[in-house]
A = this chain, B = another copy of it.
């Protein structure tokens, strides 16, 4: 297996050179061919997906895991639509970012170029096979795909379809390499190929991401944990606060940009807490509160320190009463995952302080953290939300799959 993966990486590296200089029109023709082929292969895709889903059910995988594994006609249509949307997006490669000319006539440009070879390591959802491959292709990168074993049949058929459609439309052989194995060592083998792979993107649980970070010298761009907060300030519009607190927790609790902790200013706690707790109970949310919260709404469970550190991914919320905006910011910077945090306030000074001092990838005033999203932010397609500070922070799109290069043209210039 070792040799197979090495061979695939070498093949991909060769294709990278060709793909990196391919024009946008040619790349779009490939994406279009993929979309067309996928839409014609519904039956085949569903046949193989059913094999994975049955096996998952038999092996007792969780319902949410199975939900992510299942494909249906709508989800196939969504993949095709995703490809069509991608065709319309701007190709950032070749863009001139900075440009200058020295007095000695040296012409210096900083341009955007593809990263090279990206390895995508993911779990469960088979649509990532198509999403990741197409995003990489559009940004001029070749990709090695390593999906989870629970989705092997679905991933294999999807990879086969887009690969053969791509090649027919002029895609260089090797531009998309699918690692077709159930051997758990495959990920580890990939991590060793720092000579070939320019970037690793792990997409899945914290365990997978940490394994990748700890075991490789290859740079990692990871979709991090989302422990998000909403702070209701003393100068909040209470109706707006209620609406956003409900949306940020309940609209889709399983995703990373929903909130886990609600912070409430002490001076409005007596008014706000009974209302929000009633609303949460009506929505089936379990509430874990600090002692002051419990003294106001005695039906809440008492929170412990672990609660402030918990990403529930579920209809559970922790609530803490704080004395000031400073205490709120301190709590967020201490317990948060630097993902998405919000404040509700009508006070501009307080809002500005929050925007400046809350150290998160995205900070919101009077808006739901659920809005931290590629389509809302105008990126078109998104490959994840980064909680790291280097290279990309917050929602990542096509631009974040590129790097830069200085191109310098002289007239015989030397260093004196």
Contact = CB atoms under 8 A, between A and B. Distances in A.
Given A391-B390, A391-B391, A243 B414 contact: yes
A199 B410 contact: no
A274 interface: no
A361 B406 contact: yes
Interface in A390-416: 390-391, 393-395, 403-415
Interface stretch (A282-290, A291-299, A350-358): A350-358
How many copies of the shown chain assemble into the complex? 2
B407 A367 contact: no
Contacts of A219: 388-390
A301 B334 CA distance: 62
A22 to B, nearest CB: 11
A65 B313 CA distance: 55
Contacts of A388: 219
A371 B413 contact: yes
A314 interface: no
A21 B357 contact: yes
Contact of A370 (B365, B405, B411, B414): B414
Contacts of A356: 20-21
Interface string A194-216: 00001100000000000001100
A366 B243 contact: no
Nearest to A219: B390
Contacts of A20: 356
15 contacts: A17-B359, A106-B367, A199-B390, A213-B217, A243-B412, A252-B415, A361-B406, A364-B409, A365-B409, A366-B413, A367-B409, A368-B415, A371-B415, A393-B403, A394-B406
